[in-house]
Structure 1
Amino acid sequence: MKHLVLTFLLLITLNITAQSKYITKTGSVIFEASVPSFEEVKATNKNTTAIINAENGEFAALVLVKGFRFKNALMEEHFNENYADSDDYPKATFKGKVTDFSIEDLNGSKKNKQYNGTITFHGKTKSLNNEVLSISKNADGSLNISGKLKLNVADFDIEIPKIVSNKLSREVDVIFEFVLTKK
């Protein structure tokens, strides 16, 4: 009987904990390093995993670097082999916390929130402070989280060869959008 009660309490605890997390495995991350008058340098990854803890606003995302798709295959190959070194650094991650996050405050309209955390790419980690994202709760209970940030390629020890230096921006726009459902 004692084991049955403990098992029941454990299941209730796990169920309560699980209800406070929202997750997706189909989030979208887009990056663009284009410069005017040259070919667009833009890629999309639609298989990003993201999770948020609704109790405390802790947020994390994982991107498989080889999942980025470009308009042409040669550009994708150059990105993976010459810039991202995706065989050596297969994942990019974000870990952080949304400031003043409260699931109860979300009512369908977008709310802008600040977040702090770290982003790791190409084996280098950079702090992100007071960045802004938008978050809203849908009628079905899912959460929309989206935002945009600028990253400098030098912060991640990515060298741009002189031959293409005027065709690639040293500041990369990163746009993310996630629809997370209760776990």
Structure 2
Amino acid sequence: MKLIKIFSFYFLFLSTLIMAQDRKVTKTGEVNFEASVPSFEEVAATNTSVSCILNAKTGEIASLALIKGFRFKVALMEEHFNENYLESNKYPKAIFKGMLKDFNIDKLGSTLKEYEMKGKLDLHGKSKEINTTALLRRNGDIIEVITNFIVNTDDFDITIPKVVSNKLSKKINIKSKFLLR
């Protein structure tokens, strides 16, 4: 009986190690967004503590950004962003869950390779399907993932007050970069 317990524990430990090798992760990914309009002050922010996980066998990918982690050049913009636009106390996270089509880790090299990425972005209490491309490359055990796509504030019920509507774009450019280990 003792031998069965030891074997079971060893098998469980070994399978956990094998599964961990299929997952590439970071907690220090970067997401930038820009909602600037020409001739007005830049409206842009960066979050450098975004988590991302990639299942290297299946191509499933997910990321999580805490809304309060976005930093602006102007503190007042950051305050308005959190309190008025994204309501970060009520909706503290942005989550993306998706799939890289035809992903094969063995085909990644040192040059960027383009993959179709489809998934769902949950933001401000709403969900929206996202279809875009992701650029990936491999350097040893590190996989770099780069994305760039546009979302519309109306799709997530983010209200822009009339007083600033001409200074802020409804089309938000979102760029991300992850170094997964």
TM-score (norm 2): 0.98
Structure 2 unmatched ranges of 5 or more? none
1:82 and 1:115 map into 2 onto residues whose CA distance is 31
Give the alignment partner of residue 79 of structure 1, picking from 53, 71, 81: 81
1:132 maps to 133
The amino acid of 1:143's aligned partner reads I
Residue 177 (str. 1) matches residue 174 (str. 2): no
Paired residue secondary structure (2:51): strand
Give the alignment partner of residue 23 of structure 2, picking from 21, 25, 38: 21
Cα drift, residue 79 of structure 1 = 0.4
**Counterparts of residues 10-159 of structure 1 (less than 5 Å):** 10-129=12-131, 131-138=132-139, 140-159=140-159
Paired residue secondary structure (2:115): strand
2:104 and 2:83 map into 1 onto residues whose CA distance is 42
Deviations 1:93-138 (A, max 9, x none): 0000100011100121110000111001101000113x10100001
The amino acid of 1:74's aligned partner reads L
The amino acid of 1:166's aligned partner reads N
Cα drift, residue 5 of structure 1 = 0.9
Deviations 1:59-93 (A, max 9, x none): 00000000000001000000000000000000000
2:20 and 2:147 map into 1 onto residues whose CA distance is 25
The amino acid of 2:161's aligned partner reads P
Cα drift, residue 14 of structure 1 = 0.8
Paired residue secondary structure (1:95): strand
Cα drift, residue 12 of structure 1 = 1.1
1:101 and 1:75 map into 2 onto residues whose CA distance is 39
Q: What is the aligned-residue RMSD (CA, Å)?
A: 0.6
2:159 and 2:95 map into 1 onto residues whose CA distance is 20
Deviations 1:23-64 (A, max 9, x none): 000000000000000000000000000000001000000000
Aligned residues: 179
Paired residue secondary structure (1:19): helix
Which structure 1 residue ranges, 4+ long, deviate > 3 Å from structure 2?
A: none
Structure 1 unmatched ranges of 5 or more? none
2:177 and 2:93 map into 1 onto residues whose CA distance is 18
Cα drift, residue 141 of structure 1 = 1.3
Q: What is the aligned-residue identity percentage?
A: 47
1:169 and 1:108 map into 2 onto residues whose CA distance is 36
1:2 and 1:82 map into 2 onto residues whose CA distance is 59
